[in-house]
Amino acid sequence: MNIISLTLWTLEHNCYYVYTVLIVFFIGFTVVHKNRLEANLNRTAATKKKLARKWNSGRERDFPDDDDPDHLVPAIPEDTPHVPYKPPQRTDEEILRRSREYYELMAQRRTVRAFSPEPIPDEVLNNIIKTAGTSPSGAHTEPWTFVVVQDQSVKEAIRTIVEEEEELNYTQRMSRQWVTDLKPFATKHIKPYLSEAPALLLVFRQTHSWRADGKKKMHYYSEVSVAIAAGILLAAIQYCGLVALTSTPLNCNARLRELLSRPVNERLELLLPVGRPHQNATVPDLSRKTLSEIMVKI
Amino acid sequence: MNIISLTLWTLEHNCYYVYTVLIVFFIGFTVVHKNRLEANLNRTAATKKKLARKWNSGRERDFPDDDDPDHLVPAIPEDTPHVPYKPPQRTDEEILRRSREYYELMAQRRTVRAFSPEPIPDEVLNNIIKTAGTSPSGAHTEPWTFVVVQDQSVKEAIRTIVEEEEELNYTQRMSRQWVTDLKPFATKHIKPYLSEAPALLLVFRQTHSWRADGKKKMHYYSEVSVAIAAGILLAAIQYCGLVALTSTPLNCNARLRELLSRPVNERLELLLPVGRPHQNATVPDLSRKTLSEIMVKI
C-alpha cells in the first residue's frame, strides 16, 4: 500500500474524525475572530440585503438583540426634552476671518519627538481633557477614558513596555515596507520622549459599559468616536500652545492596561506625550498635500 | 435503511465531496473576511509571538512584504532633512488662559439637525478643509479626500440614497436596542437636513494609493488617521462659527461612492452637513460626563 492509498484509506475510514477536526477548527476560528467579524457585518450587510431580497426571506437583522424587544429602554431617557440651540451668531466676515486664523494656527502643528521637561500646569491638562470630552459620539455614549500620567516611575514603566513591544514590531511584526516607509521620520524602538515629556496622555476606548439598571450599554461606533475625540484633543493641545506626538502603540494594549489598572472593557487607542517642544527639537521637512489634492467640490 | 444510517452511509461514501465542500467553504469564508482578519493580526500578534518563541521558529512577520526586501524604497525620501521646530513660545499664564478659552468655545458645540439655507463663503469651506488636512496621519500618508457638495440636485440625490438605506437600517439592520437608544435624539430615516444644509462634507478614507514609481502605497492606520482629521474638521467648523451634524451613514458607501465618482480605493467614513443653525434649531437637553468620569490622573 503506497502512501497515497494509505492516506485515502485513512481519510475514508476515519471520515468522522476528520469532519470533527475540520468543523471544530472552523468554529474555533470563527469564535477567535468574532469581534472583527461582527464589525465586518456593517460592510457585508449591503450584499446580504440583496440576497435577502432575492430569497424573499423577510426581516432579518444584522445586529440581533439579546434582550426582550418588548422591554427595551433607551440608555438616555426617551423623554429627554429638546431645547432651542442659539450659539453666538457670527457675520460672514467674522466666519471668514476666524476660519483663516484657525487654519494658520493649526498649520503650525507638527508631531514632536523631543520635549522640554517643564511640567504642564494641572488646570491646563484638565482643560484639554475637558475639551476632548466635548466631542460627539455614537448615541452620546462618550466611550473614552483619558489617563494622564505625570508620575516619573509610571512613565518609565510605560517606556519599558512600549520599547520592548516596538522592538518586536520593527523586527518581526511590521512589514519591511512599513519599516522602510517610517525611515524618513527617524522613528525607532528607543523612545526617550516617553520618560522625558512632562505628561503622557493615554486614550482608552470603552468597547461597552453598564447602565444604571445593570444592563450592558452598547457603544456604537466607538472607534471613530474616540479617534474624533483624539482629533479635538490634538486641536486643544495646539490651540493652547503645547505640542504632542500622536502614536498608536502596536500590541501594547494588554500590558499597559494592566499597568494602569484599566478594566477589560477598555482598549488603548492612542498614546500622546504632551509638553513644550525641546529647544533642539527637529521635525522632518515634509510638506502637506495641497487643497486641490484633498478636496473635490461639487 | 433508516434516515440516520442513510446519512452516515452517504457521509462515508462521499467523504471527498464533503471534505471539498468544507474546505472550499472555509477558504471562501477566509477570503471574504480577509481585510478584517488582517486588521485583527495586530491584536493576535501578541499570542503569536509567544507561540513563535516557544517553537523557536525565528523571524516571522505578521505583515509580509510582496516586494523584494533588498529594494525597498520609502514612500517619502529617506534623506528628507530634519529641520529645527520653533513654534511661538507661550507663557504658562497664556497657555492656561488659552486652554480655558478653547474649552469654553468647544463646549458650546452641539450636533445640529436643522440648518439655515444661507450659503457658506467659498473660502471658508476651503479653510476648514485645509485645516482638516493639517492632521497627523500614519507615516504622513494623508489618506483623506473631502468631497464638498453644494449643488442642490446632488444634495438631493445623496438624501435619497441615505434615506433609502437608513430606512433599511432602522427596520432591518440595526438591533432594536440600538434603534431604542437613538430615540432621545429624535433621529429617523427622513433627513431633510441633507438637502437643506448649504454644504455636505463627505469624508472619504483612501485605503491605499499609488506612488510616483507606480507601486502601491500602504496607508497605515488609515481609519484612525481619517477620524482624527474629522475631529480637527469639526473643531475648525466650531471655531469659525458654523455648525455640523456628525453622521456615519451605515451601508451607503457603495452608492455614494458611485454617485460622486470616487475611486474604489476610497471609502465613505463620515457625512457632515455644515452651515449655520436654523433659527428654530433644537438639541436634546443632554449633559456631558464630568471630568472625573473621563479622566484618571497618575
| pLDDT of amino acid B52 | 46
Tell whether B96 is within 8 A of chain A (Cβ).
yes
| pLDDT of amino acid A118 | 94
Tell whether A188 is within 8 A of chain B (Cβ).
no
Q: Give the residue on B whose Cα is nearest the Cα of A110.
A: B136
What is the number of residues in chain A? 298
Residue A98 lies inside a defined structural domain of this protein: no
Q: Do residues B238 and B162 share a domain?
A: yes
Which residues in chain B (246-285) have CB-CB distances under 8 A to chain A? 246, 248, 250-251, 253-254, 260, 269-270, 276-277, 280-285
| Local structure of B283: helix, strand or coil | strand
Whole-structure pTM value: 0.77
Q: Do residues A39 and A187 share a domain?
A: no
Beta strand ranges found along B129-229 (DSSP E): 144-149, 199-206, 208-210, 216-218
| pLDDT of amino acid B58 | 42
Round to whole Å and give the CA distance between A64 and A70: 14
Q: List pLDDT tens digits, range A100-140.
A: 999 999 999 999 999 999 999 999 999 999 999 999 998 88
Residue A212 lies inside a defined structural domain of this protein: yes
Q: Do residues A118 and A8 share a domain?
A: no
Q: Give the domain range for residue B38.
A: 3-56
Which range has the worst mean pLDDT, A29-38, A284-293, B90-99?
A29-38
Which residues in chain B (119-158) have CB-CB distances under 8 A to chain A? 120-121, 123-136, 138-140, 142, 144-151, 154
Residue-by-residue DSSP string for chain A: --HHHHHHHHHHHTHHHHHHHHHHHHHHHHHHTHHHHHHHHHHHHHHHHHHHHHHT-----SS--SS-GGG---SS-TTPPEEE--PPP--HHHHHHHHHHHHHHHHT--B-S-EE--PPPHHHHHHHHHHHTTS--GGG---EEEEEE--HHHHHHHHHHHHHHHHHIIIIIS-HHHHHHTGGGT--S--THHHHSSEEEEEEEESEEE-TTSPEEE-TTHHHHHHHHHHHHHHHHHHHT-EE--B--TT-HHHHHHHTT--TTEEEEEEEEEEEEPTT-EEE---PPPHHHHEEE-
Q: List pLDDT tens digits, range A44-100.
A: 554 544 444 444 444 444 454 444 545 677 777 888 889 999 998 999 999 999 999
Q: Do residues A173 and A276 share a domain?
A: yes
Side chain identity, residue A7: T
One digit per residue, the tens of pLDDT, for chain B of length 298 reads 577 887 888 887 888 888 888 888 888 877 776 655 554 554 455 444 444 444 444 444 445 444 554 567 777 788 888 999 999 899 999 999 999 999 999 999 999 999 999 999 999 999 999 999 999 998 888 999 999 999 999 999 999 999 888 888 888 777 778 778 777 776 777 899 999 999 999 999 999 998 888 888 888 899 999 999 999 999 999 999 999 999 998 888 899 999 999 999 999 999 999 999 999 999 999 999 999 999 999 9
Q: Do residues B268 and B159 share a domain?
A: yes
Q: Which residue has the cell 527637529?
A: A282
Q: Do residues A49 and A118 share a domain?
A: no
Residue A147 lies inside a defined structural domain of this protein: yes
Residue A68 lies inside a defined structural domain of this protein: no
Which residues in chain B (64-93) have CB-CB distances under 8 A to chain A? 64-65, 67, 69, 72-90, 92
Residue A95 lies inside a defined structural domain of this protein: no
Q: Domain count of chain B?
A: 2
Q: List pLDDT tens digits, range B57-112.
A: 444 444 544 455 456 777 778 888 899 999 989 999 999 999 999 999 999 999 99
Chain A residues whose beta carbon lies within 8 Å of the beta carbon of residue B76: 181, 184, 284, 286
Q: Do residues A38 and A130 share a domain?
A: no
Q: Do residues A137 and A243 share a domain?
A: yes
pLDDT band at residue A178, thresholds of 50, 70 and 90? confident
Q: Do residues B23 and B131 share a domain?
A: no
Residue A129 lies inside a defined structural domain of this protein: yes
Whether the Cβ atoms of residue A177 and residue B65 lie closer than 8 Å to each other: yes
Domain boundary residue, one of A56, A81, A97: A56
The CATH number assigned to the domain holding B198 equals 3.40.109.10
Q: What are the residues facing B282 on neighbouring strands?
A: A84
Of B43, B146, B64, B32, the closest CA to residue A269 belongs to: B43
* Phi/psi at A65 (5° precision): -85, 150
Q: Do residues B20 and B132 share a domain?
A: no
Q: Do residues A173 and A262 share a domain?
A: yes
| pLDDT of amino acid B5 | 82
Residue A88 lies inside a defined structural domain of this protein: no
- Average pLDDT score over residue span A244-268: 92
Residue A222 lies inside a defined structural domain of this protein: yes
Q: Do residues B156 and B222 share a domain?
A: yes
Phi-psi region of A104 (alpha: psi -120 to 50; beta: other; left: phi over 0): alpha
